[in-house]
Amino acid sequence: MPHKKAIIIGVPHTSAWDFIISYLYYTSAGGVANVVIKKEFFFWPLGYFLRKMGAIPIDRSKGVTVVKQVINEMNSCEVMHLAITPEGTRKANKHWKAGFHAIAKATGATVYMGFFDFGRKEVGWLETLELTDDAQADIERMKAYYRKKGVIGKHPGHFTAEE
């Protein structure tokens, strides 16, 4: 990954296996991708292993938003590759979240279009997404990209890239 600060979009997110497969893929390519996980999972000994795998604890109980916490974390690091699933859930969701957009704009991170396609048994990233000032328009372009690519999740009924 050529950019020091990057956001890797992971689509489709239909299973916990997405994390495991993408983690193995990214580390085999020599990278360390960070993910955000709620702080409640960072208890001993699980927290130790999560941190080793690049997980960042996020406090969802305070007034500070998740996006603001991630921006602060990314700005404090010289190099960070953050994996995000804009669907925000492993269920079918037509309303993708724009947090990645705000994070990229605030930190100057490059956005990569990543995928895990269980239909073709492929994982990777192909293109970058040039962001505009219109997060919703950028999300619609992303959805069109994934529709055209025809990615299939582990649980196909749990993914939609519809408008």
**Edge-first strand listing for the sheet containing 55-58:** 55-58, 33-38, 80-84, 5-11, 110-117, 122-129
Give residues with Cβ within 8 angstroms of 144, minimum separation 6. Answer: 161
Residue 163 lies in a domain: no
pLDDT in tens, 69-128: 999 999 999 999 999 999 877 777 788 999 999 999 999 999 999 998 999 999 888 789
Number of domains in the chain: 1
Enclosing domain of residue 38: 5-158
Query: In 3-state terms, what secondary structure has residue 82?
Result: strand
Q: Which CATH number goes with the domain that contains 104? A: 3.40.50
Tell me the mean pLDDT in the region 16-44.
Answer: 88
124-146: average pLDDT: 94
CA–CA distance, 149 with 143 (Å, rounded to integer): 10
